[in-house]
Structure 1
Amino acid sequence: MKKSARVAALLLLALAAYLSLSPVPVRPVSWEAPAAPGYVGVHAPNKRLSSLQMIPLGAEEGPEHIVLARDGKLYAAMASGNIMRMNPDGSAQEIFANTGGRVLGFDFDAAGYLIAADAIKGLLSISPDRRITVLADKVGGDPIRYADAVVVAGNGKIYFSDASARFAPSQWGGTFEASVLDIIEQSATGRILEYDPASKATRIVAKGLSFANGVALSRNEQTLFVNETGKYRVWKIDVAATNLDVTGGAPQASVLFDNLPGYPDNLMRGLDGKIWLGFAKPRTPAADWMADKPFLRQLALRLPRALWPIPKTYGHVMAFTEDGKVVADLQDPSGVYPETTGITETADRLYVQSLHARGLGWLRQMAP
């Protein structure tokens, strides 16, 4: 009995030492998470997203970004690095291009070039004849580690998010793993960049964002809407800002939505002036409780991944106007379609974006 007790004590000491001292890649920063609002008011629970129809994608998965282009074709970025092209009904699927990385967002410029934010490669341009060119993989000599979302302005300038200056997906097991590390750390190194094709120069518009994610332009193209995933909010940022630290407070940046019920992901321009926002995950009480407890967040990363404070899946998207009025809210509490990261709206369909879905979900367009 004494020997067994000694062995058990040694095992407990070894476990305690591992949980306390084993190295982890994050240096957590204490912050104060606002009390989660839950699903109330305009976000009251509903099942409007639960009747998705599916377009099979074969061996592909993760249609994270979807665009209906001027050629009438639907383009979708997949986890494999493929950008698929198909008819709006999902027929005639083909590989348009493969970047060798992971495209998380793209847009088309006036000449029909596909401008892609590739989390591995940086900012890319893909010509109509499928030639791939790297436009930017550094800013001021610093690597662009996590290109995420992109939008092209009418004047040709390209605005895109570098979600994390700390955790590159190429080094930390992929886009999802790197995002978890960045959000757990909360060092707020995300930034918004501008690439000017005329000068081929890249500059920092704004910084200090906890996982800078979705980006959309206002109709007059003077303001950027930006999702700050790690702090559950949406910013409005002046496109003319330069190296603006949003944590310091400035008239060129303001919070449009604060304390959202989930982790906001992509932003997509819809019809009639609305902007669609997708939530990758709902909030979790454990993550909010540990916000001001950096040591516990370090400890959590030493546990098996199944015990990390990663929320369950919960389908949720919303649409809002530029002045911050929520005009649509669609949910699926069952979370059957994983990570509803955004919506692509066409005249007759809503296509649902996702990091890991094995098909492309869609709904018939809602009646006005």
Structure 2
Amino acid sequence: MRRLLLALFVVVAALVAYLLLWPVPVKPVAWTVAPTPGYTGAHAANTRLAGLQTLDLGSHRGPEHIVFRNGWLYIAVDSGAIVRMRPDGSGREVVIQTGGRPLGFDFDADGAMVIADPMAGPHGGLFRATGSGASVKLELLTDSVDNTPIVYADGVVVAKSGKIYFTDASQRFGAKAWGGTFNASVLDIIEHQSTGRLLEYDPATKATRVLLADLCFPNGVALSADDQHLFVAETGEYRIWKVATTATAVSAKTPKATASVLMHNLPGYPDNLMRGQDGRVWMGLVKPRGAFIDNSAGKPWLRSLSMRLPKALWPVPPAYGHVVAFDESGKVLLDLQDPTGAYPETTAVTEADDRLYIQSLHAKSLGWLDKKKAGL
């Protein structure tokens, strides 16, 4: 019995030592979080996103970002490709292969594709693709700013002026070095050192500059109707910023008139932002808020401990379908949810005349919803 107790003590002591002392990749810091509002008010629980119809993606997965252009759906998928197909799913073909994981993309005035890819090349960056198929030319536009690398290029939008606005979600965890886009995002949000940035690239001067810094995983970005402001999703802080395109190196810790929070204390993690019709801006809440992350905001040691658990036990909230349309004042216009999470990790909506195409980080097909059914 004594030997058994001694062996049990050794095992328990080893387990405690592992949980407290084993090295982890994150260095969490304390942060302040408002109590979650839950699914109330404009975000009252509903099932209006349930029962999506789907289009086959073949062997591709994760339609993370979608652009509808000239009768084609262009879709960024996890194989490193951007595929296109007709709205009924026909004519599917690969038009771009970056060799990484394209996330946000847009088209410039010449019809070239501008792509934020955190896994192409040495550590990702902002790229411009011309041609298609075997004749594609992929040009690196920028992969650094202020002598620091752009580690996690994420959302991107092209202004009428030709300037390109995009996010560098983390300077700590690059997707290529840390197990992919989702894994790196989890590490960055749990650590919460807020190293992300909103950037501008000017093709005329080839200069890259910082508009807003010290963000916790800045993600999707969209322009205002007049191109004078940007809407930016700060995933790790559950909020949306409105930033003037004239902003210069503003810190999110000490915001100025050129950068202010438009929506805050959201019930989930905002991801992509997409302009829709009739003044709508669409946001996807890729995951609901989790009690562990909020409750451990002031306990960095507890978040470090959680990273010593098997990956399957990391504090990642369950799937919950949720997309929201808001106007430029931050007023919620439409809220669509599917609590079952049958269509997982909803990142945003691409709006066409008769359909809403639902973006997703990991879905095996492309979901869509008739706009009349959605209430539009």
Query: Is TM-score (shorter-chain normalized) higher than 0.5?
Result: yes
2:308 corresponds to: 302
Q: CA deviation at 1:139?
A: 1.1
Deviations 1:280-317 (A, max 9, x none): 10001111001100000000000111221110000000
Check the 8 A contact 1:268/1:342 in 2, yes or no.
yes
Residues paired across the two proteins, number: 367
Q: CA deviation at 1:249?
A: 2.4
Q: CA deviation at 1:141?
A: 2.1
1:81 corresponds to: 80
1:32 corresponds to: 32
Match of 1:179, SS state, is helix
1:63 corresponds to: 63
* Letter paired with 1:328: L
1:103 corresponds to: 102
Match of 1:191, SS state, is strand
1:123 corresponds to: 126
Match of 2:94, SS state, is strand
1:180 corresponds to: 186
2:203 corresponds to: 197
Q: Runs ≥4 in structure 1, deviation > 3 angstroms?
A: none
Pair 1:90 & 2:96 matched: no
Which stretch shows the higher mean deviation, 131-140 or 266-275?
131-140
Match of 1:184, SS state, is helix
The 5 Å alignment of 1:1-368 reads 1-69=1-69, 71-120=70-119, 121-129=124-132, 130-366=136-372, 367-368=375-376
Match of 2:12, SS state, is helix
Match of 1:183, SS state, is helix
Check the 8 A contact 1:189/1:210 in 2, yes or no.
yes
Deviations 1:121-151 (A, max 9, x none): 2101011342111111111221111000000
Q: CA deviation at 1:344?
A: 0.2
Distance 2:280 2:34 in 1: 27
Match of 1:297, SS state, is helix
Match of 1:287, SS state, is helix
Match of 2:104, SS state, is strand
Distance 2:260 2:152 in 1: 24
Deviations 1:74-100 (A, max 9, x none): 100000101001111111100001000
Distance 1:236 1:90 in 2: 35
Distance 2:179 2:72 in 1: 32
Match of 1:234, SS state, is strand
Distance 1:319 1:149 in 2: 18
Distance 1:307 1:5 in 2: 28
Distance 1:351 1:54 in 2: 9
Stretches of structure 2 that go unaligned for 5 or more consecutive residues are none
Distance 2:65 2:359 in 1: 6
Deviations 1:174-226 (A, max 9, x none): 00000000000000001001000001111111101100001011111111100
Which stretch shows the higher mean deviation, 125-134 or 45-54?
125-134
Which stretch shows the higher mean deviation, 10-19 or 151-160?
10-19
Distance 2:10 2:80 in 1: 48
Identity %: 56
Check the 8 A contact 1:112/1:128 in 2, yes or no.
no
Distance 1:131 1:359 in 2: 28
Distance 1:136 1:63 in 2: 25
Give the TM-score, by structure 2 length. 0.96
Check the 8 A contact 1:318/1:328 in 2, yes or no.
yes
* Letter paired with 1:126: A
Give the TM-score, by structure 1 length. 0.98
Distance 2:301 2:259 in 1: 32
Q: CA deviation at 1:273?
A: 0.8
Match of 1:352, SS state, is strand
Check the 8 A contact 1:115/1:124 in 2, yes or no.
yes
Stretches of structure 1 that go unaligned for 5 or more consecutive residues are none
Which stretch shows the higher mean deviation, 127-136 or 232-241?
127-136
